[in-house]
Structure 1
Amino acid sequence: MTSRSFFLTRELSIQRMLFTAVVLVALSVGPCHGEPLAITPFYTFNQSPLVQIYGLPAAENAVVQPAGKAWTLLAVDVANSYLKRETMRETLLVDGEGERITLALRYGVVPNLELGMDVPLVAYNGGIFDGFIEDWHEFFGLPQGQRPGAPKGELRFAYAKDGRQRLEMDEAGVRLGDVRLNGAWQLYHGGGDNPVALALRASLKLPTGSSSRLTGSGSTDFALWLTGSSDYALPGRWGHATVFAAGGALAMSDGEVLKEQQQNLVGFGTLGLGWSPAQSFALKAQLSGHSAFYRDSEFSELSSGAMQLIFGGTVAFSPRTTLDIALSEDVTVGASPDVALHLGLGHRF
């Protein structure tokens, strides 16, 4: 077998991984009896090292936790980025892999009111997925950018403008990220197994991480957004489908990362759908985007917005325990990681 055939064969197996993992694991755990599997947005957002430091939220569920009930999530996001740009005035290098591990808690305090907290750990290293991502893009005919020929396994985030180094980070390690406090109010819930729901959500990000190590921004951020969903029972044994959406704004105080160019207000949104043919699993896809976090740059990767396609599914191990598995691909090249893996293990108490 030639090396090219080997890589294409390996890549084809990886392409099928998400679909087969969701379906095969669902079959192995057997049917889950009880309520239909809730289809909710993936609990993830742009994992670019220059974006995830701020308080950009995930869309979250349009149904808040009932009074006295809790939901916990252990989420793991692995993102690999490579970007190299240069002009007469500016240079930008984003080369490395980041891992974000988040422990999230949501609790129904009283009817229609939910409070919660996110505690993240953020790690950076040279990464192991550089070769895989090149194969992924080649197989699907996606833009490779500047990856071919670039060094593998490197870690360096750097930005300079007008002869002054404004960002430099090349130290691997793991540190506490910026802790978030969360709240939600149920504005509407249609009731039944296939409800229409709308919630007003808010989060406050505190500067508990390190801006010099890119585990935090140094800013205090407040996000406010609406998230809604509409569920539909399908005829026969086709299960049910859900359409979900979210939109809002993020206000940020002045931080310590590219502080002269940081925006103080960003808009964001998500639109997605899912299909659950059985109570044990669902397939989901969503588009998530946001406006620019920075300004005054010739590089669109800094001064323009980002859009990501996130696709995968949910496996239900029991009526109360689920696992999300997803990959994300940058629709706007360079403004978000080339490829990111998301895993989210959730449990309701």
Structure 2
Amino acid sequence: MMFRAEGCQSAGILLFLVLGFFFHFPVFSSGPLQGKLLDAPQQIYYSFPGFPAASGLDRSFHLRTQAYYLNEFRGYAFDPEDEVRGSDGRLSDDDRARELTAMDYEALVVDGTFSFPWGTDHRCGITLRLYGYYGGLFDPVIEGFHSIFGLPNASREYFPQGRAYTSINNDRGITIEMDGPSVLFGDTEIFGVWTFAHSPCTTWALAWALELPTGISGTPGGNGHIDAGLQLLYERSLGESFILHAQQGFVVPGELLFGSSGSADPFILSQSLLGLEWLFTDDWSFLGQTRIHTSPLSSSAPLNHSMFPDPKQFEMPVTSLQLGLRRTFDTWNLQIYLEQDFLTHEGPDILVSMAADWKTGREQ
């Protein structure tokens, strides 16, 4: 098995050791912002969504639905002065534009999750997901927003608008291709959360997951194998108004567990989350968190990045910042968040998500 070490994984493990050593004090929070990391190289493998650490103690049945909107563009490095461009400054050769495109699409993604209590401190569940890819209706708006505020467009301005296309060049033999608007079923996720320790201020849990290959291999919908993951979850209340969320997990791609019929040889994935929740009323909370996920692949394709010397496409970890609100009602809660990769640009470009979670039965 191949595993590329990243600083984030060792830092995540160290964080848990430090917290566990100093704090021996149930935090029945709704957990961090919850949702799948949607980025073509990452999403074909399982990603932990941000389970609440106390969910193993919850005795109610939950039905959750979540919708995501994202607009994504990523191109391979090129010199615009060496290319044939039209009067609008965009590449005039469609074949050349496709050759230089890694990802260019707009997407609506919907998933549904059913979970139920198992035993005294365990919760199990299943998640189904559907992807819809189409040409970027809001491409002009996003380009205009970047231009008004002097933000880089990541070469969007040189490519035709309104496309739905993906072609991930990499050195690990992983195929992720899509040409034209597509509706794709995603892989099926089966998971569990075991809340093994809790006190008036802290909660510890262990989450496990299997991702079954119901998506189409070779597309953004799946990888054709059974992935497995394990994650440690920690929550601590900081006074009456704040909750710290910290999670560290690892996912083993199915190609490494069961072998691959082709040449696919991905890396083991490290997935970290660190967030802070502010309970500013009894019903409302504001959440900010960062998710750092290492890449399943490597690449020899260069990446133009002003902050990192000589980086390669898709090799750096995802560094997503998520900011959102949660409104809690008696029998359900509503969550909305914005997400963007603020540092390495290896994660979602622009993503908005909304989720509703209904429950019935006893909570604890």
Q: What is the aligned partner in structure 2 of residue 319 from structure 1?
A: 330
Q: What is the aligned partner in structure 2 of residue 109 from structure 1?
A: 118
Say whether 1:306 aligns with 2:315.
no
Which of 189, 198, 222 aligns to 2:228? It is 222
Counterpart residue identity of residue 254, structure 1: E
Say whether 1:79 aligns with 2:91.
no
| Contact 1:244/1:273, CA 8 A, preserved across alignment | yes
| Contact 1:65/1:107, CA 8 A, preserved across alignment | no
Aligned pair in 2 of structure 1 residues 161, 59: CA closer, same or farther (>3 Å)?
A: closer
Correspondence list, 1:153-302, <5 A: 153-160=162-169, 167-191=176-200, 195-234=201-240, 240-254=241-255, 260=263, 262-299=265-302, 300-302=312-314
CA drift at 1:99: 2.2
Q: What is the aligned partner in structure 2 of residue 42 from structure 1?
A: 33
- Give the SS at the match of 2:130: strand
Correspondence list, 1:132-147, <5 A: 132-138=141-147, 141-147=150-156
CA drift at 1:222: 0.5
| Contact 1:297/1:303, CA 8 A, preserved across alignment | no
Aligned pair in 2 of structure 1 residues 67, 307: CA closer, same or farther (>3 Å)?
A: closer
- Give the SS at the match of 1:79: strand
Say whether 1:344 aligns with 2:355.
yes
CA drift at 1:50: 2.4
Which of 310, 320, 328 aligns to 2:339? It is 328
**1:175-227 C-alpha deviation (Å, 9 max, x unpaired):** 32100110111121114xxx311110011001001124421111211110011
Cα distance in 1 between the residues matched to 2:174 and 2:30: 45
CA drift at 1:171: 3.2
Q: What is the aligned partner in structure 1 of residue 46 from structure 2?
A: 55
Alignment: residue pair count: 303
Once structures 1 and 2 are overlaid, which stretch shifts more, 277-286 or 92-101?
92-101
More strand by share: 1
Counterpart residue identity of residue 323, structure 1: L
Cα distance in 1 between the residues matched to 2:155 and 2:48: 29
Cα distance in 1 between the residues matched to 2:47 and 2:356: 21
CA drift at 1:288: 0.3
**1:7-64 C-alpha deviation (Å, 9 max, x unpaired):** xxxxxxxxxxxxxxxxxxxxxxxxxxxxx99352111232112221211111210112
Structure 2: tracts of 5 or more residues without a match: 1-26, 79-98, 303-311
CA drift at 1:108: 1.1
Aligned pair in 2 of structure 1 residues 243, 121: CA closer, same or farther (>3 Å)?
A: same
CA drift at 1:168: 3.6
CA drift at 1:137: 3.5
| Contact 1:219/1:254, CA 8 A, preserved across alignment | yes
Which of 55, 72, 97 aligns to 1:64? It is 55
Cα distance in 2 between the residues matched to 1:48 and 1:161: 15
CA drift at 1:265: 0.6
Cα distance in 2 between the residues matched to 1:167 and 1:185: 34
Cα distance in 2 between the residues matched to 1:203 and 1:169: 27
CA drift at 1:160: 5.0
Q: TM-score, normalised on structure 1?
A: 0.78
CA drift at 1:82: 0.7
Aligned pair in 2 of structure 1 residues 168, 204: CA closer, same or farther (>3 Å)?
A: closer
- Give the SS at the match of 2:296: coil
**1:292-342 C-alpha deviation (Å, 9 max, x unpaired):** 1102433433222111000011122x2221111111011234411211111
Aligned pair in 2 of structure 1 residues 106, 167: CA closer, same or farther (>3 Å)?
A: closer
Cα distance in 2 between the residues matched to 1:324 and 1:297: 39
Cα distance in 2 between the residues matched to 1:78 and 1:334: 18
Cα distance in 1 between the residues matched to 2:150 and 2:340: 13
Cα distance in 1 between the residues matched to 2:43 and 2:176: 16
- Give the SS at the match of 1:133: helix
Q: TM-score, normalised on structure 2?
A: 0.75
| Contact 1:37/1:280, CA 8 A, preserved across alignment | no
Counterpart residue identity of residue 341, structure 1: V
Once structures 1 and 2 are overlaid, which stretch shifts more, 176-185 or 68-77?
68-77
Q: What is the aligned partner in structure 1 of residue 23 from structure 2?
A: none
Q: What is the aligned partner in structure 1 of residue 93 from structure 2?
A: none
Counterpart residue identity of residue 315, structure 2: S
Aligned pair in 2 of structure 1 residues 45, 153: CA closer, same or farther (>3 Å)?
A: same
**1:237-287 C-alpha deviation (Å, 9 max, x unpaired):** xxx111101001000122999x64642411110000111111221111110
Structure 1: tracts of 5 or more residues without a match: 1-35, 235-239
Aligned pair in 2 of structure 1 residues 320, 165: CA closer, same or farther (>3 Å)?
A: closer
